Amino acid sequence: MIYQLSVRPQKYLIEQLDNGRVLSRLIIDVQDFNQGRFYAIGEKGALEKKVDNYDEGGLLPSRAEDSQTFSGESGIRVQRRPNSTLAFRHFLEGFLKVDQDNVCFFEDANSLIGDKSLNPSLRIFSHEGQVLYMLDSRDIGTKRVLDTIQKSYSWMFVCILTTWSKALETYANNLTLEDLKEIAQNLTSICIGAYDGEGFLVWTHK
């Protein structure tokens, strides 16, 4: 479910991107977050009273079927928590349906190319050893959408909704700096983890 914000959390967004990898920092350079609009994505009824408290959690009841466990920045295991992954999956699939050039890129804050923990069933890309995942229109309705969201969610989460000229081409999995610049420049929306892992903040340039 989409929730409207009464504040503009661009400072929070920039802080999150500044902790990201090369693509996140390129986005800071080419996008003006004083423009566009912000909103939140969460389970129905979860964020209505605290939608502007994007740095707080405790909004969702414990529900084992869509909770997840992930590694924190220090490598310590974080306990299972409720989240809005299923609502976010529907949001992404709606974007991918609009145009075959629409893609979603995810930064993996914890992994490097060559790590044994990488899931070979995902669309894995790299830049200077850093790992990114991609979803495109071929993934709509498949298990890969949810698997990609869950694999990329750790102590931080960055998902870029953009158009890419190579979306359905046969291409190498090594992204050049020019590829990343195109992805950042053509960005439609950017999504970051918020609400202590229970929801998402979205910025769109329109």
User: In this predicted model, what pLDDT tens digit does every residue of 74-120 receive, in sequence order?
Assistant: 444 444 444 588 899 999 999 999 998 999 999 999 999 989 989 99
- DSSP letter string over 60-125? S---GGG-EEEE-TTSPEEEEE---HHHHHHHHHHHHHH-TTEEEEEEEEEEETT-TT--TTS-EE
Task: Supply the pTM of this predicted model.
Answer: 0.86
What pLDDT shows up at residue 168?
62
Could you report the per-residue pLDDT of 14-39, keeping only the tens digit for each?
A: 999 999 999 999 999 999 999 999 99
| Residue type (1 letter), 84 | S
CA 76 to chain centre: 22
* Burial class of residue 78, CB neighbours in 10 A (0-12, 13-18, 19+): middle
The reported pLDDT for the residue numbered 62 is 53
pLDDT surpasses 50 at 178:
yes
Mean local confidence (pLDDT), 117-130:
92
**Which residues partner with 127 through β-bridges?**
130
Q: Please report which confidence band the pLDDT of residue 145 belongs to, taking 50, 70 and 90 as the band edges.
A: very high
User: What integer is the mean pLDDT of 107-136?
Assistant: 92
The 10s digit of each residue's pLDDT in 27-72 is 999 999 999 999 999 877 767 778 888 888 766 655 544 445 545 4
